[in-house]
Amino acid sequence: MNNLKLEKVSGAARAGVLKTRRGEIKTPVFMPVATRGAIKGGVSFEEMENLGAQIVLGNTYHLFLRPGDELIQKNFGDLHTFMHWNKSILTDSGGFQVFSIKNKKITDDGVFFNSHIDGKRFFLDAEKSIQIQLNLGADILMVFDECPPSKIANPTGLSSEKLERKLFFKVLRAVEKTTDWARKSKDHFEKSFASKISPKERPQLFGIIQGGCFSELRQKSLKEITAMDFDGFALGGLAVGESAIEMYKVLDEMCPMMPEEKPRYLMGVGTPENLIEAVSRGIDMFDCVLPARNARHGTIYTWTGKIRIANARYKEDKKVLNEACGCVVCADKKLSRAYLHHLFTVGEDLAKKYLTIHNLYFYQDLMRTMRAKILTNEFENWKDEVIKKLSV
């Protein structure tokens, strides 16, 4: 099924329309993260829609533990109805969260882990992960993968060469498992829909390419994953501790080799600068907790760099957060930095909400602007100028 219609390519940057069974998504797109069925910071889905969000991400691991995918399916049909969001939902596979748990046992088939809530032991594998995502009614599902760390501990003082070799084999095993689990994920996914449903009405399944920062392993993973006919392809295992330069190197190498007609998703990235650099290399989709998390900690994004709202310099500042911003906080309510500084420093919940709305709007605005610049072929010139201003 051809789910991505490319409208314009400027350099390597792409503007297109991604079709899911819930409607059209203009790309490049940023997907805010609704971890446990809500955007952190107290922002409602109605407000999310008003600030331009086209698709949100739900976390399989969290929703499986609480309230449970089966509870949602049995009583409400899907996550959309449960949380009252009618646009598309992408669910992760739960792999990333499960692999970051300390107390776990990885086997060839899957992962045994203890819930972070009550310590109860669970097992997650490819089939189970896909089934949870199907129960949640996701429009885009992700295969179950192993996300290896970018660095490993060195308690015995190995030489840097030996340490690198040890990491290489760890990442190689993760690549092999990811390919095996991708096949199992796809089998289970396809079995669920066997001839019952047309491709337009069924959800989509994306494959994930792993391989850390090792060129050889990235290429191996890309070859094996793209050989399977997924609806889209994601780059996983980035933004896990490597430098931005290392990440861009992986993108430089991978993007030209990824299928042109399929959506490309860079998982868990990143800062506004990261998004611009990745779009310029040909990425279409992103998700990240950063704009909402930073808002809750008082770091605000503007078109002229970051603001730390707790700073005393804003105590009597009558200006809005960002003159160029069209969000409810800046453009409609015209709330001053002084008021937001006050709410933030006294710890009012409203500060978190307003600052989250502003940051999420900024990310949507950034994507809309990139898309417009690609469509008019001005992306490259715009990129150099705006990155200079943003990195203040």
Residues that bind Zn ion (rule: CB under 5 A) add up to a total of 5
Provide the minimum distance between the beta carbon of 199 and Zn ion in the complex, in angstroms, as a whole number: 40
- Tell me which of 327, 340, 343, 386 binds Zn ion, using CB under 5 A: 327
Provide the minimum distance between the beta carbon of 348 and Zn ion in the complex, in angstroms, as a whole number: 18
The structure tokens 């199992």 sit at 184
Provide the minimum distance between the beta carbon of 27 and Zn ion in the complex, in angstroms, as a whole number: 23
Task: Please identify, among the stretches 62-70, 71-79, 156-164, 328-336, the one whose residues bind Zn ion according to the rule CB under 5 A.
Answer: 328-336
Task: Please identify, among the stretches 11-19, 35-43, 274-282, 317-325, the one whose residues bind Zn ion according to the rule CB under 5 A.
Answer: 317-325
CB nearer to Zn ion: give 281 or 341. 341
CB nearer to Zn ion: give 186 or 358. 358
Q: Is there a cis peptide before residue 203, judged by omega within 30 degrees of 0? A: no
Examine residue 128 and tell whether it contacts Zn ion (CB under 5 A): no
- What are the C-alpha distances in Å from 249 to residues 14, 97, 246, 264? 19, 25, 5, 16
How many other C-beta atoms can be found within 10 angstroms of the C-beta atom of residue 96? 21
Provide the minimum distance between the beta carbon of 130 and Zn ion in the complex, in angstroms, as a whole number: 39
CB nearer to Zn ion: give 167 or 320. 320
CB nearer to Zn ion: give 53 or 79. 53
How far is residue 107 CA from its own chain's centroid?
A: 26
Provide the minimum distance between the beta carbon of 297 and Zn ion in the complex, in angstroms, as a whole number: 17
Using CB under 5 A, which residues numbered 52 to 81 contact Zn ion?
none
| 299 Cβ contact partners less than 8 Å away, ≥ 6 residues apart | 306, 307, 308, 309
- What are the C-alpha distances in Å from 378 to residues 31, 45, 295, 303? 24, 33, 30, 18
How many other C-beta atoms can be found within 10 angstroms of the C-beta atom of residue 101? 14
How far is residue 17 CA from its own chain's centroid?
A: 18
Examine residue 325 and tell whether it contacts Zn ion (CB under 5 A): yes
Provide the minimum distance between the beta carbon of 385 and Zn ion in the complex, in angstroms, as a whole number: 21
Largest alpha-carbon pair distance within the chain? Answer: 64
CB nearer to Zn ion: give 41 or 282. 41
Task: Please identify, among the stretches 12-20, 23-31, 187-195, 321-329, the one whose residues bind Zn ion according to the rule CB under 5 A.
Answer: 321-329
Question: Reduced to 3 states, what is the DSSP secondary structure of residue 25?
Answer: strand
The structure tokens 């409810």 sit at 328
Helix (H) or strand (E) holding 340: helix 337-346
* The two structure tokens encoding residue 211: 């391989």
Provide the minimum distance between the beta carbon of 351 and Zn ion in the complex, in angstroms, as a whole number: 14
Site map 330..369 versus Zn ion, x via CB under 5 A: x---------------------------x-----------
CB nearer to Zn ion: give 51 or 279. 51
Of 76, 78, 22, 15, the C-alpha closest to 54 is 22
Angle, to 10 degrees, between the axis of helix 337-346 and the axis of helix 349-375? 130
* The two structure tokens encoding residue 234: 């994601």
Task: Please identify, among the stretches 33-41, 149-157, 306-314, 324-332, the one whose residues bind Zn ion according to the rule CB under 5 A.
Answer: 324-332
Task: Please list the alpha-helical segments (H only) found in 4-138.
Answer: 45-50, 60-65, 69-76, 79-83, 95-99, 126-136
CB nearer to Zn ion: give 4 or 325. 325
Provide the minimum distance between the beta carbon of 5 and Zn ion in the complex, in angstroms, as a whole number: 31
How many other C-beta atoms can be found within 10 angstroms of the C-beta atom of residue 351? 23
Which active-site residues does the annotation give? 92, 287
Q: Is the four-CA dihedral 47, 51, 54, 56 of positive or negative sign?
A: negative
CB nearer to Zn ion: give 307 or 330. 330
Examine residue 171 and tell whether it contacts Zn ion (CB under 5 A): no
Residues forming contacts to Zn ion in the complex (CB under 5 A) are: 325, 327, 329-330, 358
